[in-house]
């Protein structure tokens, strides 16, 4: 299986090829819906288009959590607006080692919509600058729209109703402090889903913000016949799934609603501690 990651040298070569990839800037800041587009406007990889976490990669917050999946027709419209087709390679990047919207976009394109050629730029914008490449500013021509209508694979995710009935290892991608309930900076209830195991998404990266080698991830990632990944709102959990892909391991399913949906029903149990 080919790697879901791409290096700076590989990306530079791909952008000069006869079929350059659609390059999507996925930078975002939780709690500031306009920050990602502002960052993209100020400086971005040449030819990239901004892909917004809150507007493009999630539906309206509510009973489904802070970042529920958008309706399939809404995501289809986004893909068409961006000119994406199965024949066009796609490269995604952010500035947080893929932990926010880049991994979420990868999961939605590959696991949910079934796109065959999507990679995440390992190291993101910092790796681009570290390779001596330049950034662009401002807007540019919008891509030509496509007519692609994906076939969505809803078996790749689970909802709150199905979660208790599934025999699977439940993997929490949040920090250990949030998992234990020692701190909760975002959601109104602290703790975790009973029976879950904590594996912070940050543990997938080296201190330099790049993915650990595949063999190291394969040795570190929890192993079970079935795995379901969750986090606060179904975003960093996608980084966990991406790490399994880098390691060449079977992919977990995603619980998109995650903790922010789970706690909306006071009848659902909550655990604290390790």
Tokens representing residue 81 in the block: 């607006």
The verdict on 82 and 207 lying in the same domain is no
- Spatial CA neighbour of 68 closest among 49, 53, 50: 53
Please return the burial class of 121, using the count of CB atoms within 10 Å of its CB with bins 0-12, 13-18 and 19+: buried
Choosing from 102, 136, 152, the residue where a domain stops is 152
CA distance 100 to 93: 10
Tokens representing residue 183 in the block: 């701190």
Is 231 designated active site?
A: yes
Q: Give the pLDDT of residue 1.
A: 57
CATH number at residue 197: 3.40.250.10
Q: Give the pLDDT of residue 98.
A: 85
CA distance 194 to 209: 30
Q: Cβ atoms within 10 A of the Cβ of 267, count?
A: 4
Q: Cβ atoms within 10 A of the Cβ of 273, count?
A: 9
Enter the DSSP assignment of 15.
Answer: H
Catalytic residue among 26, 111, 198, 231: 231
Q: Give the pLDDT of residue 31.
A: 85
Q: Which segments in the chain show pLDDT lower than 50?
A: none
- Spatial CA neighbour of 22 closest among 168, 136, 121, 135: 121
Tens digit of each residue's pLDDT (9 = 90 or more) over 196-240: 999 999 999 999 999 999 999 999 999 999 999 999 999 999 999
Q: Give the pLDDT of residue 142.
A: 84
In a domain, 274, yes or no: no
Choosing from 152, 177, 211, the residue where a domain stops is 152
The verdict on 139 and 186 lying in the same domain is no
The verdict on 49 and 173 lying in the same domain is no
- Domain, as residue range, for 222: 155-262
CA distance 165 to 240: 22
pTM (two decimals): 0.97
- Could you tell me which residues come within 8 angstroms of residue 115 by beta carbon, excluding any fewer than 6 positions away? 84, 86, 90, 109, 150
- Total structural domains within the chain: 2
The verdict on 10 and 142 lying in the same domain is yes
Q: Give the pLDDT of residue 100.
A: 83
The verdict on 92 and 195 lying in the same domain is no
Q: Give the pLDDT of residue 230.
A: 98
Q: Give the pLDDT of residue 99.
A: 85
- Spatial CA neighbour of 63 closest among 153, 152, 158, 160: 160
Q: Give the pLDDT of residue 2.
A: 82
The verdict on 96 and 39 lying in the same domain is yes
Tokens representing residue 126 in the block: 């910092």
The verdict on 136 and 174 lying in the same domain is no
């Amino acid at each position: 299986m080919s790697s879901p990651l791409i290096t700076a040298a590989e990306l530079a070569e791909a952008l000069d090829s006869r079929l350059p990839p659609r390059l999507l800037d996925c930078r975002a800041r939780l709690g500031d819906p306009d920050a990602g587009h502002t960052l993209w406007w100020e400086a971005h990889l040449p030819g990239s288009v901004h892909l917004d976490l809150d507007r493009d990669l999630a539906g309206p917050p509510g009973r489904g959590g802070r970042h529920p999946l958008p309706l399939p027709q809404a995501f289809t419209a986004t893909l068409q607006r961006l000119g994406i087709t199965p024949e066009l390679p796609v490269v995604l990047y952010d500035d947080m080692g893929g932990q926010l919207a880049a991994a979420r976009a990868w999961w939605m394109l590959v696991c949910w919509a079934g796109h065959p050629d999507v990679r995440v730029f390992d190291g993101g914008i910092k790796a681009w600058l570290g390779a001596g490449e330049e950034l662009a500013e401002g807007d540019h021509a919008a891509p030509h729209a496509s007519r692609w209508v994906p076939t969505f694979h809803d078996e790749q995710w689970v909802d709150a109703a199905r979660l208790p009935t599934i025999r699977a290892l439940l993997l929490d991608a949040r920090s250990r402090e949030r998992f234990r309930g020692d701190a909760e900076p975002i959601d109104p209830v602290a703790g975790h889903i009973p029976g879950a195991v904590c594996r912070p998404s940050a543990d997938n990266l080296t201190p330099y913000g790049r993915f650990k080698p595949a063999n190291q991830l394969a040795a570190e990632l929890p192993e079970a016949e079935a795995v379901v990944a969750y986090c606060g709102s179904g975003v960093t959990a996608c980084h966990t799934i991406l790490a399994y892909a880098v390691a060449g391991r079977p992919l977990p399913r995603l619980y998109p609603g995650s903790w922010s949906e789970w706690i909306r029903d006071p009848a659902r149990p909550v655990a604290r501690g390790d």
